């Protein structure tokens, strides 16, 4: 199997984009974008930036962009599995308040 020769400027551009996205992560963490208990807008921004960084790493530094379709299938399967894990975790976290808290020992 032959692999394409990727110019160094591609890696440098991807690295520069990762540096910019890291600076954006720090900037988002420094500001309170949403009021309230959950700070949902901060979380949405942080996850969006993290997804962009993960995509850059997967495509360029793991050479998936230049790989066969079978590699793309395995990457897609991994992303699908991650989405299942996130959905199950969120379903647990969002339904925890449905059960009443048990009283401390000795008071019930």
pLDDT band with cut points at 50, 70 and 90 for residue 36: low
Q: What is the mean pLDDT of residues 35-49?
A: 80
- CA distances, 69 to each of 3, 32, 36, 65, 80 (Å): 14, 42, 44, 10, 16
Domain ranges in the chain are 1-66, 68-97
CA distance 76 to 67: 13
Q: What angle do CA 26, 30, 34 make, to 5 degrees?
A: 115
pLDDT in tens, 71-99: 999 999 999 999 999 999 989 888 877 77
């Amino acid at each position: 199997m032959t692999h394409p020769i990727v110019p160094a400027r591609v890696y440098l551009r991807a690295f520069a984009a990762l540096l910019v996205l890291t600076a954006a992560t720090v900037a988002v963490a420094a500001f309170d974008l949403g009021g309230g208990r959950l700070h949902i807008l901060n979380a949405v921004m942080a996850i969006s930036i993290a997804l962009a960084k993960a995509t850059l790493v997967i495509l360029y530094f793991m050479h998936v962009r230049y790989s066969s379709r079978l590699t793309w299938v395995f990457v897609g399967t991994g992303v699908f599995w991650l989405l299942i894990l996130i959905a199950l975790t969120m379903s647990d976290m969002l339904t925890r308040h449905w059960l009443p808290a048990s009283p401390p020992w000795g008071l019930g």
